[in-house]
Structure 1
Amino acid sequence: MRMCKRNPGLRKVLEVASQQAITACEETFKYDRWNCSLVYNKKPKRNIFKKIYRETAFVHALIAASITHAVARACSSGELSRCACLSTRTSDTFENVSWQWKGGCGDDFNFGKRYTKNFLEFKSVGNDQVADILKQDVMVGINSVGEQLKEVCKCHGFSGSCTTKTCWKRLGPFNSAMGLLKKQYHHALKKKLVVKRAITPNIRKKVKDRKNLVYLQKTPNLCLSTKSRVCKDVPNCATLCCGRGYSVGNRSVTTRCRCRMVDCCFVKCDTCLEVKDYYVCK
């Protein structure tokens, strides 16, 4: 609340981050057994945050990634007052070239990273093993965004010459980071908490691999939640439906068809109605 009061624009940015994360997650896991639901069992109702499952680790990383991305973009667009458009280079970098450099407006990833760690309160976790694991998951999410940071340049000059060049750092679309996070989800590492011994009360096992998502408990059986889910195709049904089988239906889909060029430079298409099968888990 203090952070939101200090920066009025942050509330809107967080709303963007929330919707961005939900949309990307649901689209990416649409045909997986876990479809980004926070509840894995309706009766009795079980929430994924009761323990640290693979899915719990992923959601922590996803939240961190989306906030970082949204804040960095908001810096370059001027939506946040406590950060500004990021200049990425100085003219001294290019002494022996034939063109001049002008600073561009970049996404401030480093500011987004600091802001996210502070907002999620994972700047320091002390000797709390669980918090240390969640901090690692948060950092995996943040770094997935940082890996998408690319330099973008635009040339200026007469007749297409590059006498002046504008360069800036730009984050890729959030879906690119989402692709990396899904790989992390499938390669997440299961760890165990270390019981502290009376002789060495301050010694605990550190998580060695800081580049992977980490979770503590095995995911419960997700097959209970896939009933009535729509499959992508028959092979997908074999996995999604957990061997229960599937029902086949059909629906009418409107598509563009018979496209052709008319009047030299315009494309004209007809509208066709096509009947397609769809599959639903029993």
Structure 2
Amino acid sequence: MDWRYTIMKCSFSNFIIWVLIFLVLWCSPSVIAIGAHTLCKRFLGLTKKQQQMCARNPEVMFAVGTGAQIAIKECQEQFKNQRWNCSETPGKRAFGYVFPVGSREAAAAYGAWSAGISYSITQECSKGRIPNCSCDYSKKGSSYSEGWKWGGCSANIKYGGSFAKRFIDAREIEGDARSLMNLHNNRAGRKAVEANVITTCKCHGVSGSCTLRTCWQTLPPFRDIGNYIKQRFEEARHVRPVRSKKHRKLVLRIRSISLWKKKRLKSGDLVYLSESPNYCDYNPEIGIIGTGGRKCNKSSNGPDSCKVLCCGRGYNTLVKTVKRQCQCKFHWCCKVICKVCSEVVEENFCK
């Protein structure tokens, strides 16, 4: 299922975000409240609770939009050589569109989406751009035996994760197996941000002796979180819904060949209910755009190879001449002179 309409990518949504930013920066609180309430209703696919949260927190909604964007970009980078590569499926524009197939790709999408939004809100808090949220000053104390103490501006992961949880999880109200899957993967995305936080320290002391260090927690590049989620995708757990013996509530359990091989499901695991489709052929009903027209590498043996990516349909070869600068030389003083060379390039595209 397509990642771009799973998270807010369409130009209309971007327009709404920038209008909200304008309201936040230039309008009075009363105008912001009225304008945000009206505009939030125009987001496609928001639940009533999400619309209310959007109207009450227009400044945070900017971070939500930014988080969705970085999640899209990172998803495309992580899966660019695979049959499912996060490309947009035409016709599905709703915010938070539900994947019809509860596959591991859906798990990765929800996890990354949740991580991106949590990450962006946390980042905006640290920059002082969200009212009533700044640095995390709850980290106190020191370890003088080890020569360090908490200080500085630690990333407010608690606030970012809390808002992301309330906003994203507001969609999952059915209580069925698919809703449980989505909620678990949303939580796994937030856990991915927590698991990759960096502790940064600054030295203090005479002549740089570093007799004492002040430390605080910062967010890593989002690429690190993307790599982490991709690893969780590779290790995703195939689960099934069961009724708990104690409360008779529906819960998810890892599918297992035998009871003695059972493993406990962890909150940071990505989970899926159904096996993945092959993503080879266009199928708008389940959001698959197919691999037709995708660029492939005929000399590769990996997932980006023409054999794998084209699903046995073959490929077309395009030969073109590319001009580039070459044989560059430095001339005293002070310029570089290059020649223009022509190179024949061969590209292959799936049929």
Smaller-chain TM-score bracket = 0.7 to 0.9
5+ long unaligned stretches in structure 1: none
Residue 281 of structure 1 and its aligned partner are, at CA, apart by 0.9
Q: Distance in 2 between matches of 1:130 and 1:85?
A: 36
Residue 187 of structure 1 and its aligned partner are, at CA, apart by 2.4
Question: Aligned pair 1:223/2:280, yes or no?
Answer: yes
Residue 128 of structure 1 and its aligned partner are, at CA, apart by 3.9
Q: Distance in 2 between matches of 1:101 and 1:259?
A: 53
Whether contact under 8 Å (2:176, 2:250) holds in the other structure is no
Matched to 1:222, the amino acid is Y
Aligned identity (percent) is 31
Whether contact under 8 Å (1:234, 1:279) holds in the other structure is no
Q: Distance in 2 between matches of 1:267 and 1:193?
A: 69
Whether contact under 8 Å (2:240, 2:252) holds in the other structure is no
How many residues are paired up? 273
Q: Distance in 2 between matches of 1:108 and 1:269?
A: 51
Q: Distance in 1 between matches of 2:199 and 2:232?
A: 25
Structure-2-length-normalised TM-score:
0.65
The CA RMSD measured in Å over matched residues stands at 3.7
Whether contact under 8 Å (1:122, 1:135) holds in the other structure is no
Residue 200 (structure 2) aligns with: 152
Whether contact under 8 Å (1:86, 1:105) holds in the other structure is yes
Residue 248 (structure 2) aligns with: 202
Q: Distance in 1 between matches of 2:139 and 2:325?
A: 46
Question: Aligned pair 1:79/2:129, yes or no?
Answer: yes
Whether contact under 8 Å (1:7, 1:81) holds in the other structure is no
Q: Name the SS of the counterpart of 1:218 in structure 2.
A: coil
5+ long unaligned stretches in structure 2: 1-50, 254-263, 282-289
1:169 aligned to which of 210, 217, 221: 217
Residue 145 of structure 1 and its aligned partner are, at CA, apart by 1.6
- 1:269 and 1:57, CA in 2 relative to 1: closer, same or farther beyond 3 A? farther
Matched to 1:237, the amino acid is C
Q: Name the SS of the counterpart of 1:223 in structure 2.
A: coil
- 1:193 and 1:162, CA in 2 relative to 1: closer, same or farther beyond 3 A? closer
Residue 143 (structure 1) aligns with: 191
Name which structure has the greater RCO, CA cutoff 8 Å, separation 6+: 1
Whether contact under 8 Å (1:106, 1:169) holds in the other structure is yes
Question: Aligned pair 1:180/2:180, yes or no?
Answer: no
Superposition map of 1:242-261 within 5 A:
242-252=311-321
1:84-107 Cα distance to aligned partner (Å, 9 max, x none)? 1224754x5143577x86821222
1:156-191 Cα distance to aligned partner (Å, 9 max, x none)? 567545467442211111111111212222322222
Q: Distance in 2 between matches of 1:269 and 1:103?
A: 52
